[in-house]
């Protein structure tokens, strides 16, 4: 049954004031959790390596997955008990876009962490269009308007301009689309008849698994890509590409991955779900505490082949507060990866609603839906009630600080101001349709895509 926002908020309020912490009687102790080889799987690795899962009585096996579809299918089938997921995956599955299943998230894994990279050849064509600072280095953030003349030249020659992203409902897909559209380029629409996402596109976006991004670009199959770390920094280290913008510079402290489980798992194993969430919150706290003092240790963990398997030097480039654009152009980026501060782990409804607005903007949600539908769908998937119960237990056990959690939140962040977003269009999760209609490129209220054309 659909959970209404009012019921969920009431439940959250009750849980936030509970003071009766006690040991959990686990319904299931042996768990297998999936992940993709990206640095933002770090909370899982840390919870495993530092014994936080074991502290909760859980015996966890972590398994890298080949791609996001395999990972999602594993959670749905029960082969995996839960997984590091694209935030769009639980939402898309729950509304029946692609594989249909009710997936929930009690824990948001991180903020930021992605970038958009172009090949050296494309960068050389873009660079004359990029403003320079006094020292001659490019002025960041770089708008896609610098790429627009390059794309136009390709199209004039009858050549497609191909770029990569990791999955149709990934943050990376929506971020590269956002960046392109903010620079005046059309990234293409989806329809019920054509799920390529390339209808009316200036730039053709296709799926490439994250670890394969650099090699695919080096081979010339794609001219650039949007991906998480370390695969942007890998392009710099291999001298095959240049990151042109981070998602932090596109939208300050934007939501990224989530930890996903089936609704059935949460219902059948409620204490196990709480125990998992507690361990992950502790891992996130460790990753950010004392001004990222533990990041070097985390980098060594992640560099191991069973986790990310990239060189520690490459992973450290972004994980330890810096980001390298062109070779040698290293700039401070203290919030490139955020795992706990700014309430990063709290599953905000407004984060879920942003993803849903982007699905609607590009036609993955084919029809206009009322604002209430966005609120209810967010409440079906994002579960701050579970999160706050786990947080309360940690506080009562002396494992976390009371002040570090948004006990009184209604599930919505304050609106993101225009100054924090690259196209200077503010975002308010309480007004999804008004937000969609404010975006110059993309579907508007009453519009749909039929037979390759926007109608309405």
Three-state SS string over the chain comes to CCCCHHHHHHHHHHHHCCCCCCCCCCCCCEEEEEECCCHHHHHHHHHHHCCHHHHCCCEEEEEECCCHHHHHHHHHHCCCCEEEECCHHHHHHHHCCCCCCCEEEEEECCEECEEEEEEHHHHHHHHHHCCECCCCCECCCCCHHHCHHHHHHHHHCCCCCEEEECCCCCHHHHHHHHHHHHCCCCCCECCCCCCCCCECCCCEEEECCHHHHHHHHHCCCCCEEEEECCCCHHHHHCCCEEEEEEHHHHECCCECCEEEEEHHHHHHCHHHHHHHHHHHHHHHHHHHHHHHCCHHHHHHHHCCCCCCCCCHHHHHHHHCCEEECCCCCEEECCCCEECCHHHCCCCCHHHHHHHHHHHHHCCCCCCCCCHHHHHHHHHHHECHHHHHHHHHHHHHCCCCCHHHCCCCCCCCCCCECHHHECCCCCECCCCHHHHHHHCCCCCCCCCEEECCEEEC
Mean pLDDT in residue range 288-309: 97
Examine the domain organization and report whether 105 and 214 are in the same domain.
Answer: no
Examine the domain organization and report whether 235 and 296 are in the same domain.
Answer: no
pLDDT for res 221 = 97
Examine the domain organization and report whether 270 and 326 are in the same domain.
Answer: yes
58 closest CA partner among 77, 80, 31: 31
Cβ–Cβ contacts within 10 Å for residue 192, how many? 12
Contact 101, 64 (CB under 8 A): no
Is 145 among the domain residues? yes
Examine the domain organization and report whether 265 and 211 are in the same domain.
Answer: no
> Above 90 in pLDDT, residue 334?
yes
> Above 50 in pLDDT, residue 12?
no
Q: Is 417 exposed, middle or buried (0-12, 13-18, 19+ CB in 10 A)?
A: exposed
Is 412 among the domain residues? no
Examine the domain organization and report whether 63 and 162 are in the same domain.
Answer: no
Please state, in angstroms and rounded to a whole number, the distance separating the CA atoms of residues 407 and 419: 27
> pTM for the whole thing?
0.94
Q: How do beta strands 162-165 and 204-207 pair?
A: parallel
Examine the domain organization and report whether 119 and 228 are in the same domain.
Answer: yes
Q: Domain limits at 209?
A: 114-254
Domain C-terminal end among 254, 275, 302: 254
Is 453 among the domain residues? no
Is 427 among the domain residues? no
Tokens matching residue 59 = 């015996």
Mean pLDDT in residue range 120-145: 97
Contact 416, 426 (CB under 8 A): yes
pLDDT for res 23 = 76
Examine the domain organization and report whether 212 and 329 are in the same domain.
Answer: no
Domain C-terminal end among 189, 219, 254: 254
Please state, in angstroms and rounded to a whole number, the distance separating the CA atoms of residues 432 and 427: 8
> Above 60 in pLDDT, residue 2?
no
Contact 145, 183 (CB under 8 A): yes
Please state, in angstroms and rounded to a whole number, the distance separating the CA atoms of residues 238 and 248: 23
151 closest CA partner among 190, 181, 194, 115: 181
Is 434 among the domain residues? no
> Above 90 in pLDDT, residue 10?
no
Using the Cα atoms of residue 112, residue 68, residue 204 and residue 122 in order, give the sign of their dihedral: positive
Contact 194, 80 (CB under 8 A): no
Mean pLDDT in residue range 348-376: 98
- The per-residue pLDDT for range 388-405, each reduced to its tens digit, is 999 999 999 999 999 999
- The per-residue pLDDT for range 208-222, each reduced to its tens digit, is 999 999 999 999 999
Mean pLDDT in residue range 45-56: 98
The overall average pLDDT reported for the chain is 94
Tally of domains within the chain:
2
Examine the domain organization and report whether 36 and 105 are in the same domain.
Answer: yes
Examine the domain organization and report whether 40 and 105 are in the same domain.
Answer: yes
Is 438 among the domain residues? no
72 closest CA partner among 61, 63, 60, 83: 83
pLDDT for res 391 = 98
Is 272 among the domain residues? yes
Examine the domain organization and report whether 120 and 247 are in the same domain.
Answer: yes
Domain C-terminal end among 254, 285, 300: 254
Examine the domain organization and report whether 63 and 135 are in the same domain.
Answer: no
Q: How many CA atoms lie within 13 A of 48 on its CB side?
A: 21
Residue 311 sits in a domain whose CATH number is 3.40.190.10
Tokens matching residue 85 = 């997921």
Examine the domain organization and report whether 291 and 344 are in the same domain.
Answer: yes
pLDDT for res 4 = 45
Please state, in angstroms and rounded to a whole number, the distance separating the CA atoms of residues 354 and 174: 10
> Above 90 in pLDDT, residue 374?
yes
């Amino acid at each position: 049954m659909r959970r209404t926002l009012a019921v969920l908020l009431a439940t959250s309020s009750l849980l936030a004031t509970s003071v009766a912490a006690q040991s959990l009687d686990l319904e299931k102790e042996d768990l297998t959790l999936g992940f993709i080889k990206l640095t933002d799987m770090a909370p899982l690795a840390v919870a495993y390596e530092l014994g936080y899962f074991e502290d909760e009585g859980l015996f966890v096996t972590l398994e890298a997955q080949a791609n996001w579809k395999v990972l999602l299918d594993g959670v749905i089938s029960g082969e995996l008990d839960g997984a590091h997921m694209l935030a769009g995956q639980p939402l898309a599955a729950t509304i029946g876009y692609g594989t249909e299943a009710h997936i929930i998230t009690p824990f948001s894994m991180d903020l930021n962490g992605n970038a958009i990279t172009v090949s050296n050849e494309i960068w050389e064509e873009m660079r004359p269009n990029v403003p320079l600072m006094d020292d001659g280095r490019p002025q960041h953030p770089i708008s896609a308007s610098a790429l627009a003349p390059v794309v136009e030249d390709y199209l004039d020659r009858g050549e497609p301009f191909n770029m990569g992203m990791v999955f149709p409902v990934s943050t990376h897909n929506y971020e590269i689309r956002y960046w392109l559209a903010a620079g005046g380029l059309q990234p293409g629409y989806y329809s019920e008849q054509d799920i390529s996402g390339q209808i009316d596109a200036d730039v053709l976006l296709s799926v490439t698994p994250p670890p394969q991004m650099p090699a695919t670009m080096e081979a010339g199959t794609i001219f650039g890509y949007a991906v998480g770390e370390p695969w942007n920094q890998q392009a710099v280290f291999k001298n095959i590409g240049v990151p042109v913008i981070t998602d932090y510079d596109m939208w300050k402290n934007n939501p990224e991955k989530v930890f996903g489980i089936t609704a059935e798992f949460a219902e059948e194993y409620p204490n196990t779900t709480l125990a998992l969430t507690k361990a992950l919150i502790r891992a996130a706290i460790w990753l950010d505490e004392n001004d990222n003092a533990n990041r070097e240790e985390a980098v060594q963990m992640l560099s191991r082949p069973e986790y990310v398997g990239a060189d520690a030097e490459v992973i450290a480039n972004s994980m330890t507060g810096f980001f390298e654009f062109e070779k040698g152009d290293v700039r401070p980026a203290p919030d490139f990866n955020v795992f706990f501060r700014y309430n990063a782990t709290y599953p905000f409804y407004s984060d879920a609603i942003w993803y849903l607005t982007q699905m609607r903007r590009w036609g993955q949600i084919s029809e206009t839906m009322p604002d209430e539908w966005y609120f209810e769908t967010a409440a079906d998937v994002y579960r701050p009630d579970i999160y706050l119960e786990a947080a309360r237990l940690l506080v009562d056990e002396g494992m976390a600080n009371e002040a570090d959690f948004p006990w009184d939140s209604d599930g919505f962040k304050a609106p993101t101001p225009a100054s924090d977003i690259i196209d200077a269009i503010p975002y308010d999760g309480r007004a999804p349709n008004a937000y969609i209609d404010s975006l110059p490129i993309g579907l508007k209220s009453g519009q749909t895509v039929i037979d390759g054309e926007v109608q309405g």
